[in-house]
Amino acid sequence: MANMARAALTLPLLLCLLCFSAVAYGVFVSNLNAACLRCLCFAITGCNATLACSKGYCGPFYISRVYWADAGKPVFPEDDPERAGAYQDCAKEYNCAASIVTNYMARFGRDCNRDGVTNCDDYAMIHYNGGFSCETSLEGTNFSAKYEVCRPGTLSDV
Ligand SMILES: *[C@@H]1O[C@H](CO)[C@@H](O)[C@H](O)[C@H]1NC(C)=O
Ligand SMILES: *[C@@H]1O[C@H](CO)[C@@H](O)[C@H](O)[C@H]1NC(C)=O
């Protein structure tokens, strides 16, 4: 009887280990869809997929170590956030970097421009200004000019 009870507990525990490794990729943030992520990527670096790390920023989303840490240190499945290079490897690859951005927005997402909705315009402000001071207007920045090119229409946001 005791053995059976242990066995019954083991399976859910194993499943839960699997579900934890998927957490960084499974976060859902309202209005942060693929088009918005792609547009943030375009606005910040032209979404250059071959960008490595320079001056403290890595990859097509131009992610700093502090941003990554504030996002909860997402890494590739099976990787270890404490491994040297784990942050850089994730930030340099589009899908892994997108999971960093998604986790960051899950934590800091709010209505930065106070227009009554939290959508890609706010995520753009958060990505550029940082989550702690996202209210600063993006007007006049190169980031903003490029964001306007691909800005997702608010009506089609889900
Ligand atoms: C992407 O970045 C690399 C490395 O900085 C650079 O050599 C290349 O010209 C860039 N590509 C585009 C399309 O900007
Ligand atoms: C904006 O882009 C232009 C052209 O690429 C560049 O000369 C200028 O230095 C950039 N301005 C800022 C604030 O990055």
Q: What is the pLDDT of residues 5-15, one digit of tens each?
A: 444 444 444 44
Task: State residue 128 phi and psi, 5-degree precision.
Answer: -80, -45
pLDDT tens string 100-152:
999 999 999 999 999 999 999 999 999 999 999 999 999 999 999 999 999 99
Q: What is the pLDDT of residue 25?
A: 59
Spatial separation of the C-alpha atoms in residues 128 and 62, rounded to whole Å: 10
Q: Is residue 21 part of a domain?
A: no
Residue 2 lies in a domain: no
C-alpha 119 – ligand 2 centre gap (Å): 26
Q: Is residue 27 part of a domain?
A: no
Structurally, how many domains does the chain consist of?
1
CA distance 86 to 128: 23
Q: Which domain holds residue 96?
A: 32-149
Which ligand minimizes its atom distance to the CA of 140? 2
Please indicate, yes or no, if residue 25 is contained in any of the structural domains: no
123 within domain boundaries: yes
Pocket of ligand 1 (CB under 6 A): 46, 48, 50-51
Query: At 141, which CATH number?
Result: 1.10.530.10
Between 4 and 28, the higher pLDDT residue: 28
Ligand having the closest approach to the CA of 47: 1
Quote the tokens at residue 28.
């859902």
**Distance from the CA of 67 to the center of ligand 2, in angstroms?**
23
Predicted confidence (pLDDT) per residue in 13-27, tens digit: 444 344 333 344 567
| Residue 24 included in any domain | no
